[in-house]
């Protein structure tokens, strides 16, 4: 029996857990949670597209067998705590799939668990939205992943490929996973941050104007620091992302915009904060992302979530 442990049962985590449960009833799914959240999940389960799922809840420190697959879907500001809570679920054959935004989570997880495979991975095209314990989505999108260095897929990447196939989760093994990670970062730094700042849906960015110009200005700084880091991104990637935005429902909101509308802490540290830090490292100006970082730090203070 395949065992999957999931930490972070928000929109992304719950949607994938539901897909696995539906496609592979024989798979053992464990959700890592503690305290009041664990109690609520045990009492109420989690509702995904009007179906209630009662997953096994394991608390940190509880003795368990290692998982075949761990899906990490917390927000980045909860990652340090989550990494510690994975202890006991990690064994020599475990694959850890991080679906966090940004470009640093795999490295942080690997530092704690160097013995396991943590391939760079991104979730692309999913439209899941969470409201309390209710999650809704119309498309699961796909998971793209691969080895940090190009070449023949490693054993861990092959195992992840096989498991996702069994689970019926659309996925793609990328021949250049590092660039793939940065490509998703380029998207998030642009539309996630500006949509959250403006508390605006996708529709505002589907036409030329000040909002799209601001988004592209933030993305241009990513291209600048990516080049210094040895990652080939360019104007064609921005053009491609603008095209993708045009295919999304105009009334939909990015995950960061949803956080801003709910006055929740955002992932600005992982987006603008990373761009600013890399700019300082490579001597590249990043004024747009520096302003975005300061703006959200002020918003966090206003909301009482700093």
Is residue 152 located within the same domain as residue 229?
Answer: no
Contact 85, 6 (CB under 8 A): no
Is residue 168 located within the same domain as residue 255?
Answer: no
Residue 44 belongs to some domain of the structure: yes
Is residue 162 located within the same domain as residue 276?
Answer: no
Say which residue the tokens 């939909």 belong to.
252
Distance CA 270, CA 304 (A): 19
**Residue 134: φ, ψ to 5°:** -105, 130
Residue where a domain stops, chosen among 175, 202, 231: 175
User: What's the pTM value of the predicted model, to 2 decimals?
Assistant: 0.90
What CATH number does the domain containing 272 carry?
1.10.1040.10
Is residue 37 located within the same domain as residue 140?
Answer: yes
Q: Find the Cα–Cα–Cα–Cα dihedral 82, 277, 270, 305, rounded to 10°.
A: 90
Distance CA 216, CA 224 (A): 12
Residue 306 belongs to some domain of the structure: no
Consecutive H or E run containing 297: helix 287-303
Residue 125 belongs to some domain of the structure: yes
Consecutive H or E run containing 35: helix 35-44
Is residue 197 located within the same domain as residue 113?
Answer: no
Give pLDDT tens digits along the chain (306 positions): 899 999 999 999 999 999 999 999 999 999 999 999 999 999 999 999 999 999 999 999 899 999 999 999 999 989 999 999 999 999 989 999 999 999 999 999 999 999 999 999 999 888 888 887 799 998 899 999 999 888 889 999 999 999 999 999 999 999 999 999 999 999 999 999 999 999 999 999 999 999 999 999 999 999 999 999 999 999 999 999 999 888 888 998 898 998 999 999 999 999 999 999 999 999 999 999 999 999 999 999 999 997
Is residue 189 located within the same domain as residue 297?
Answer: yes
Strand partners, 30: 5, 56
Is residue 13 located within the same domain as residue 137?
Answer: yes
What domain range includes position 260? 178-301
Distance CA 196, CA 104 (A): 21
Helix (H, G, I), strand (E, B) or coil at 244: helix
What CATH number does the domain containing 38 carry?
3.40.50.720
């Amino acid at each position: 029996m395949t065992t999957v442990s999931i930490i972070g049962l928000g929109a992304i985590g719950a949607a994938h857990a539901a897909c696995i449960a539906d496609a592979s009833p024989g798979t053992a799914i464990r959700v890592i949670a503690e305290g009041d959240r664990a109690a609520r999940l045990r009492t109420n389960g989690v509702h995904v597209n009007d179906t209630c799922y009662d997953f096994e809840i394991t608390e940190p420190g509880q003795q368990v067998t290692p998982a075949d697959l761990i899906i990490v879907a917390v927000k980045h500001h909860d990652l340090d705590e989550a990494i510690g809570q994975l202890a006991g679920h990690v064994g020599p054959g475990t694959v850890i799939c991080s679906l966090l935004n940004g470009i640093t989570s795999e490295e942080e997880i690997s530092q704690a668990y160097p013995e396991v495979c943590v391939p760079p991975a991104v979730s692309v095209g999913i439209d899941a939205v969470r409201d309390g314990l209710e999650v809704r989505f119309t498309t699961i999108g796909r998971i793209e992943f691969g080895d940090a260095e190009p070449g023949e897929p490693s054993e861990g990447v092959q195992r992840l490929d096989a498991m996702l196939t069994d689970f019926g989760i659309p996925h793609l093994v990328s021949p250049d996973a590092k660039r793939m990670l940065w490509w998703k970062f380029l998207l998030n730094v642009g539309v996630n941050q500006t949509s959250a700042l403006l508390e605006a849906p996708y529709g505002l960015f589907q036409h030329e104007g000040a909002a799209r110009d601001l988004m592209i200005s933030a993305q241009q700084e990513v291209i600048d620091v990516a080049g210094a880091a040895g990652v080939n991104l360019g104007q064609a990637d921005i053009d491609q992302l603008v095209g993708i935005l045009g295919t999304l429902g105009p009334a939909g909101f990015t995950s960061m915009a949803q956080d801003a509308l709910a006055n929740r802490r955002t992932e600005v540290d992982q987006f603008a904060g990373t761009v600013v830090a890399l700019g300082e490292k490579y001597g590249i100006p990043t004024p747009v992302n520096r302003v975005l970082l300061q703006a959200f730090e002020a918003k966090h203070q206003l909301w009482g979530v700093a």
